Structure 1
Amino acid sequence: MNKRFSSSPLPFRGSKRYYVKRFREVLAQAQDVEVIIDLFGGSGLLSRVAKDMLPNCRVIYNDFDHYDERLANVANTNALLRSIAPLVTSVPDNKKVPAETKKNILKLCAEAEKTHTVDYITLSASLLFSGNWAQSYEQMSKQTMYNRMVRTDYDVTNYLQGLEVTHCDYRELFDKYKTNKKALFLLDPPYLQTEHSAYKADTYWQLKDYLDVLALLDGTKFVLFTSGKSQIIELCEWINQNYDATLLQGSQKYEQNSRVNNVAAYKDIMIAKL
């Protein structure tokens, strides 16, 4: 029996692990759906949960961040973490790694880069303070390291099984299925007014981009994720009132408190119309 994932197998900023239970409850209400399109696939967790809940549906995971490459590289990542672990055995959990130890860790990373890609995002979960991320050797070298080592290997077995993986602009993918009345769109774009350090600089998300997403929803089945900080719901209500629009009308709203780390939290909002 395949493992049922309730979180992403490798660390990912913005993963919907806190929303899996409610997302499953929403999917259980889905009727007359034959294809599910995860436009902003992220770590693929929504796609994975959707396929497990509705196995007879096609599920298309738009992996714009190339998370699949990190999954394919997991053996190298596990091996590198196992080589780092002995260097920090004398450092108490969650305590700062000494400068000399940090230097030796970076040497291992540099050596690994000679033969394969190093997954610094996954390494961040073991070496950086909660909520901090590095995406390159340069970024990792500038960070203060802590002993937060993961004790077991990462297991990604069968995570993508049954999913159709694409890597394209969400608008291109939407256009392929927008007339399909049996399509359900999952939309989890980067949040407005929320930390974006884990996203590429050239894909910074602005209000205009978010309004472009909202414009797609009219007449479709969808599950949309946003944050309380973005005030998108208030904006939609204002547009509806002043311009006779119907943005998000007829949908159900679900709220969930989520955390970035021990000191930073925000309100996740899921809006569904099935």
Structure 2
Amino acid sequence: MSRIYKSAPLPFMGQKRYFVRAFSETLEKVEGKVDTIVDLFGGSGLLSHTAKRVLPGCRVVYNDYDGYTDRLAGIDRTNEILLLIKDCLTGVEPNARLTEEQRSDVLAIVEAYEAKGYVDVMTIGRSVLFSGKWVKTLEELRKHTMYNRVKPGGYDSAGYLDGLEVVHMDYRELFDLHKDNSRALFLLDPPYLTTECGQYENYWRLTDYLNVLKLTKGTKYIYFTSDKSQIMELCNWLVDEFGEAAPLYGANAQVRTNTLNYQAKFNDMMITRI
């Protein structure tokens, strides 16, 4: 088996790198009890990648819900662009704000490549925008103040997808394909309610999250959420009202506190029933 990644090879908002250890330990507990792991909202693929390394004998289905594999396929071009930007910013202090002239030079490089084909604007943006800023398009990139945040060296994704079965499907259709397999484990990491869902093509409403919760009935699952979503508050209310019939009844929860800045914190949760 190829190398183990502790974080996704390209930037991705919401990747579960801080849960890799706890997630791995949970998977070890189901060794021999499951034969298929289905990552319904694959995101960066980090959960799928980790699952295949921990349980190499399992079939792991990575639903590339966000087009992340397109970004991986363009990694050489991304490195070319970043090298040109780095050369363009020679002499500029790390994290320094760019002048309008420097900013125009950066945009000119990106625009020239986009005219020739695909450009991973999200990764480029993480290299020239203030921490916490994310963009998907060149139009969005043009609107922002820029900083010299280009990291030394290039990106590498060698072996990251090895052993994974990559699909591009509506999560409900993929669930239907595997719901009758009693030895299937479902990974549920939908976009968090009340947080930025800009990477998703369609805005997620409360009903969308509730429909995901329905998938936990009678299945083995690892479900990720946050206290920002208030989903747990809802589920606790449902348990009080409906007992064992409530979503997530009897599940175990692990909580991790994330610090966004000196003012903002929130709790990520990994909820399991295996």
Q: Distance in 1 between matches of 2:69 and 2:123?
A: 13
Q: Which runs of 4+ in 1 moved over 3 A?
A: 259-265
Q: Deviations over 1:61-114 (max 9, x none)?
A: 000111001000000000000011012222211111110011011111111112
Shift of the 123–264 alpha-carbon distance from structure 1 to 2, 3 Å rule, reads farther
Counterpart check, 1:154 vs 2:155: yes
Q: Distance in 1 between matches of 2:160 and 2:264?
A: 29
- Larger mean CA deviation between 228-237 and 32-41 belongs to 228-237
Shift of the 7–107 alpha-carbon distance from structure 1 to 2, 3 Å rule, reads same
Counterpart check, 1:236 vs 2:235: yes
Counterpart check, 1:73 vs 2:74: yes
CA shift at 1:261, angstroms?
5.7
Q: Report the aligned-residue RMSD.
A: 1.4
Q: Distance in 1 between matches of 2:262 and 2:59?
A: 38
CA shift at 1:237, angstroms?
1.9
Q: Distance in 1 between matches of 2:262 and 2:80?
A: 29
CA shift at 1:255, angstroms?
0.4
1:187: which partner in 2? 188
CA shift at 1:267, angstroms?
1.0
Which amino acid is the alignment partner of residue 75 of structure 1?
Answer: D
Shift of the 45–262 alpha-carbon distance from structure 1 to 2, 3 Å rule, reads farther
Q: Deviations over 1:11-70 (max 9, x none)?
A: 000000111011111111114100000000000000000000000000000001110010
CA shift at 1:228, angstroms?
0.8
Q: Decide whether the 8 Å contact of 1:130 with 1:262 is kept in 2.
A: no
1:98: which partner in 2? 99
2:212: which partner in 1? 213
Q: Distance in 1 between matches of 2:90 and 2:255?
A: 41
Q: Decide whether the 8 Å contact of 1:237 with 1:247 is kept in 2.
A: no
CA shift at 1:137, angstroms?
1.1
Which amino acid is the alignment partner of residue 238 of structure 2?
Answer: I
Q: Decide whether the 8 Å contact of 1:130 with 1:261 is kept in 2.
A: no
Matches within 5 A, 1:1-274: 2-31=2-31, 32-197=33-198, 199-200=199-200, 202-244=201-243, 245-260=245-260, 264-274=264-274
Q: Distance in 2 between matches of 1:218 and 1:231?
A: 20
Q: Distance in 1 between matches of 2:95 and 2:116?
A: 30
Number of residue pairs matched by the alignment:
272
Task: Provide structure 2 residue ranges, at least 5 long, that are not aligned to the other structure.
Answer: none
- Larger mean CA deviation between 25-34 and 77-86 belongs to 25-34
Which amino acid is the alignment partner of residue 216 of structure 1?
Answer: L
Q: Distance in 2 between matches of 1:264 and 1:142?
A: 25
State percent identity of aligned pairs: 47
CA shift at 1:116, angstroms?
2.3
Which amino acid is the alignment partner of residue 209 of structure 1?
Answer: D
